[in-house]
Structure 1
Amino acid sequence: MKTKFIPLLLAGLLTGSVFAQSVSGDVQRNVNQQARIEEGLKTGQLTTKEAGKLEREEAAVAREEHKALKDGKLNQQEKNKLARMQDKASADIYVEKHDAQVGNPKSVSSKRMQADVQRNVNQQQRVENGIKSGELTNHEVAKLEKGQARVDHKEALAAKNGHVGAAEQRNIQHAENHQSKKIHKEKTDDQVRG
């Protein structure tokens, strides 16, 4: 009996580890893409409007991550779909950064967007760290990605006209504060990755 139990236990642990690696890799791509958007704003390669368009795409990726992880599992079809969406978002970031449009990184609007996108990088990094440490389950990551999709959507709406106003930024910051609290709550509860 013991000889059958140990391989099953090891298989279960390895499967959980594979899921964690897959989810962590997905979240790491979110971190990288947000960092590329922020860098594009800082260098003037992206206008505020272009960054807003890219944030709309990031929101779609986060919504799909939420949907895929809702059941706590990430099957091969879901992994493939997320990879395709991430690949498209990556290509779109490249295209927008290398087109003829240039932004003014010193404008108030761009600085607001830079700060908001930097906060996305930080929050996604906290989620990835929670996955790697075992503090976050896939169900918790799903909830957090739904919240991140809301933040990204607010950023996209604010930048749609190419200008992020003070009131729009306060609205985004409110959503980011809410998301930050959710990340802290999920990372410090009693649930741990199995």
Structure 2
Amino acid sequence: MLSLCGLGGVAAVQAQTAPTQNAASDTQRDANQQQRIEQGLKSGQLSTRQASNLEQREANLDRTEQRDMRNGPMTKAENAQIQRMQNRDSAAIYKDKHDAIKGNPNSASSRRLQADVQRNANQEQRLANGVKSGQLTNREDARMQGRQAHVDHMEHVAGTNNGRVGPREQKRIQHAENRNSKRIYRVKHNAAKR
């Protein structure tokens, strides 16, 4: 039989883990949605332009997460807003993957964007793992989400200017991803813990 003090301790633990679970599930969902975009490019269900537009939606989501997590755990209202945005983005991915517009997954442009989006998915997964393990604080995750938003926006611009991603554009995107990768490593291995 638990004493009232024991129940209060359980409630305190639950209150502390809820923001961590929200941040972890939000970041994991970001990784999953990036993976869905990349799969759509690989299968030809998404054109380069469609995937680029979806990347802009992901950039907006990452910026919102950055803003909401910057000062600590997200409030219920902030988390609800993130969930709504993720639901809308998920629906947009589904809609674009199932419309009449098809892409050429073997084109050089599509292969470049596939590689970039796959790298995004990998970076988001690294962030999700860091949040789950406690290696990343909310503030660190927020900072990294902002950096991911920058890369998502670069992919959007590259793919929507003329409907294709050129080698120079990919090189700039890869350079930004390399910087982000190093930053993720540093913040996951610093002394700060969740």
Shared fold by TM > 0.5? Answer: yes
For residues 81-132 of structure 1, the C-alpha deviation after alignment (integer angstroms, 9 at most, x for no partner) is 1011101100100111111111000000000000000001110110011111
Give yes or no for the alignment of 1:46 onto 2:59: no
Q: Structure 1 residue 17: deviation in Å?
A: 1.3
Please give the residue correspondences for 1:2-17 in structure 2 after superposition, counting only pairs within 5 Å.
Answer: 11-17=11-17
Q: Structure 1 residue 73: deviation in Å?
A: 1.4
Partner of 1:135: 135
Aligned equivalents of 2:8, 2:131: Cα separation in 1: 23
Aligned equivalents of 1:180, 1:62: Cα separation in 2: 16
Give yes or no for the alignment of 1:66 onto 2:78: no
Q: Structure 1 residue 16: deviation in Å?
A: 2.4
Q: Structure 1 residue 10: deviation in Å?
A: 5.1
Q: Structure 1 residue 7: deviation in Å?
A: 6.6
Give yes or no for the alignment of 1:113 onto 2:138: no
SS of 1:104 mapped into structure 2: coil
Q: What TM-score does the superposition give when structure 2 sets the normalisation length?
A: 0.94
| Stretches of structure 2 lacking an aligned partner (at least 5 in a row) | none
Give yes or no for the alignment of 1:157 onto 2:145: no
Q: Structure 1 residue 14: deviation in Å?
A: 2.7
SS of 1:136 mapped into structure 2: coil
Partner of 1:176: 177
For residues 110-156 of structure 1, the C-alpha deviation after alignment (integer angstroms, 9 at most, x for no partner) is 00000000001110110011111110111111001000000100000
SS of 1:45 mapped into structure 2: coil
One-letter amino acid matched to 1:115: A
Aligned equivalents of 1:98, 1:130: Cα separation in 2: 33
One-letter amino acid matched to 1:120: N
One-letter amino acid matched to 2:190: D
One-letter amino acid matched to 2:86: Q
Aligned equivalents of 1:175, 1:151: Cα separation in 2: 7
Q: Structure 1 residue 191: deviation in Å?
A: 0.3
Q: Is the deviation greater in 3-12 or in 154-163?
A: 3-12
Q: What TM-score does the superposition give when structure 1 sets the normalisation length?
A: 0.94
Kindly tell me: are residues 182 and 4 of structure 1, through their superposed partners in 2, closer, same or farther at Cα, counting changes over 3 Å?
Answer: farther
